[in-house]
Structure 1
């Protein structure tokens, strides 16, 4: 797959390389989720502000 070395039968996929790629994948996933949540919150905030501008709530 990545590189020409065959997989080492002794580490059973728990070596440094697979750990590193797993951490990178988890980190990228967490960043993507956090970015999506932040953009969703910003969208809700902006739509709330837009609604307040267009339709002022009577006191």
Structure 2
């Protein structure tokens, strides 16, 4: 399975998220130690499906 990190940062050798910031509402954001990809933990762990790419008209 490919996560958003793996899809958008295909040249990154490792998917190593570390917590970067925690919002007051409990939401946490992470960045990859290797490539600085930024997102929620789901960006690093949940499967990415190509239909999620926004199509431009």
Same-fold call, TM cutoff 0.5: no
Q: Which has the higher strand share?
A: 2
Which protein shows a greater Rg? 1
User: What band does the TM-score fall into relative to the shorter chain?
Assistant: under 0.3
Name the structure with the higher helix share. 1
